[in-house]
Chains A and B, each alone.
Chain A
Amino acid sequence: MEGVGVAITLRGLSHTYRTDDGPLTVLGGLDLDVPDGGYAAVTGPSGAGKTTLLALLGGLEQPQSGAIEVGGQDLTALSGDGLAAYRRATVGFVFQHFGLLETLTAAQNVELAGTLAGTSPAQRRARALELLAAVGLAERAAHRPSRLSGGERQRVAIARALVNEPRLLLADEPTGNLDDDAAAMVIELLEKVRADHACTLVLVTHNRDLAARAEQRVALDRGERVSAPV
């Protein structure tokens, strides 16, 4: 499978949430470079800003200050439909909670990304089945998420993330809800996908062993980069 990754450049990226106890800075002037096709693991304790970093990279939120460039695209200049188009065309998400719609079958969940991209029903159906076969779930295409194991659900989620051939794959604790065997299978699948598609992979994890497999480790604590894993 052919694909092209994206380089990530963050400069002075800051993000603050308003809380009942006052402003909470979750990212404070973060600088980061991930090369095109790179594999970065973001680690850190809860509240370190890992998920916010992933949300900003994925265009789920607009940056408040600082520069964020993905594949030469300035995300601070995008909003609304622009960010939606960016998410659709550039990003593939894998969530800790899988993010599958319970009302849809595995194949329909995978198709969903193609549906949003306006792909014809026949094309997206074929693509979904192809990807489900690629993650070893061809025979579970008609099953709903509730009938799949955790590992299978995450593999469906990975298949869905690949529908639009993303250049950036973002995984938020992809093994957080899985047992060891399923976690190993999922991480191997992610790495294989990255290798096959040559896409850039950024994953957030608490798992040090998993982080150790990445080419680049980004340790965060209270919104700032720290030199050593916490």
Chain B
Amino acid sequence: MRWRDAAAMAATSIRRRFGRSVLTVAAVALAATLLVALVTIAGTARTKVLSELSKGGPLSGITVAAAEADPSQVDNDSPRPGPPKDLDDRIRSKIIALPDVKTVLPIIAAGVNVIVPEPPAKPDVLAKLPPIPSTVATTTTGAPSTTNVTAPRATVAGLKTPDPFPETMVGIDLERASLMPITILSGRLPTPHSLNEVAVTQGYLTRMGLSKRQAAAVVGTEVELGAPRVFSDSGLPNRFRSRWVRATIVGVVAQETAPGQFVVSIEQTQAARAWTAAGGDAGGRLEIPTSPYSGLFVIASNLDKVNKVRSDITDLGYSTSAPENLVASVQRYLRVVEIVLGAIGAIALVIASLGIANALLAAIRERRREIGVLKAIGARDRDVQRIFLFEAGVLGLIGGTVGTAGGFGTALGVSAIVNGYLTAQGLAGVRLGLPLTVLLSSVVGSTALALVAGALPARRAAHMPAREAMESV
């Protein structure tokens, strides 16, 4: 008997015993649904948790400070930095050349004075968002600026425009911003090399008296950023003049890659630093850090190499921080959760497979004479075995496929509910990827388990005596 004929006979048998086949397939499908849903949800939760830990950046990210290393703190995730130490291109090149370093991203911070023009938030957007908390904006004064300081001005009900204040803008390589620990709450990041776009952090929202859920209200508003330069006239105290840039807020981010409420292109901070560093026409100069880079964000080739890379950078004399211990510890717990959830699904699948075995054994009992007849007209043991194995395999394949689709659908549904909750809380949602390995493994696994479950019944059928054909009942 050909394989194709055995498959056709198995298919016919499944079709003709439709009710039983549907129940058997349903059991496998439910088990596969459970398995896929649990594993997919666990995997997504794992990604989300680790993403939160790494603040949206790669898990193998290391922040290098422009400060000396404290050798006693090397094993800490967030060590106390030592005294300032210049971080320049020479050191950057040395770090790039270290083994297991994948990428090095520069961070340059620059101090600026900030003026927030009215309105500080878009009233029409704000009206559609949750209400403003009762606490009003905190204002900061005392900035070295020539700008007249005025009292907070009421704009939208409950919202006040702050007085000018000093802040830090953080310049990053926006072309590779996806590698940085940044999560966008609303809008987007500035376009690479832009000199008039800026993203703000949650600290800016707090300053405006807005909550995280109201982030969208500041997107599209403007700020004026002034890099200060000191200048002096003979016999007069130092005065300051700022290089003003009017920038549009294009997005709000959840984290600060370095202390500072404005994320801009690295070119913008370079220009601001250059202006400030140039000093005044009479030689007066503001005290700014001498380090060309405020920090570096180093990405190790993988999580296991983080400790080694950190150690190498410490040997170069720089303080580093990375959530490696926290990530490793959380990963261990998540792994346990994944194993437990996977095991629950797998147990369900095994139980469903036992259902297949049971259904086939019942079928064999019912079909004793049919098997005998098949043998009487020339079927070999292996022909009979093939038919029953095909039957088991087809039940497993159909159940596995339906269940896998159902499981992924369930995971999508759960993620939609979770996203709804997270969005309502003003948090970034989870993105459910297409876990091809999980989906494929589920289908293949269901089929394989069904074949294993069908092996014994098939063998029993194969060894059934041909004499059964002669039995009258």
Contacts and interface: CB of A to CB of B under 8 A. Distances in A.
Contacts of A89: 378
Contacts of A140: none
B373 A95 contact: yes
B12 A103 contact: yes
Nearest to A120: B2
A118 B1 contact: yes
A164 B469 contact: no
B16 A60 contact: no
A95 B473 CA distance: 12
Interface in B1-41: 1-2, 5, 9, 12-13, 15-17
A23 B1 CA distance: 37
Interface residues of A, number: 37
A51 B470 contact: yes
B220 interface: no
Interface residues of B, number: 28
Contacts of B17: 103
Given A54-B470, A55-B467, A55-B470, A101 B377 contact: no
A116 interface: yes
A58 B376 contact: yes
A60 B370 contact: no
A222 interface: no
B377 A93 contact: yes
Interface in A146-177: 160-161, 164, 172
Interface stretch (A31-39, A77-85, A186-194): A77-85
Chain B residues touching A, majority SS? helix
Contacts of B16: 102-103
B2 to A, nearest CB: 6
B378 A164 contact: yes
Interface string A34-76: 0000000000000000010011001111000000000000000
Given A55-B470, A117-B378, A172-B470, A61 B383 contact: no
A81 B370 contact: no
A115 interface: yes
A51 to B, nearest CB: 5
A25 interface: no
A60 B375 contact: yes
A61 B467 contact: yes
B376 A87 contact: yes
A101 B373 contact: yes
Contacts of B373: 93, 95, 99-101
27 contacts: A51-B470, A55-B466, A59-B466, A60-B375, A61-B466, A81-B380, A83-B466, A84-B381, A88-B377, A89-B378, A93-B376, A93-B377, A95-B469, A97-B472, A99-B369, A99-B372, A99-B376, A99-B469, A101-B370, A103-B12, A103-B16, A104-B12, A113-B377, A115-B9, A116-B374, A116-B378, A116-B379
10 A-B pairs with least C-beta separation: A88-B378, A103-B16, A99-B373, A60-B466, A84-B380, A116-B378, A113-B377, A115-B5, A93-B376, A60-B467
Interface of A: 51, 54-55, 58-61, 80-81, 83-85, 87-89, 91, 93, 95-97, 99-104, 108, 112-113, 115-118, 160-161, 164, 172
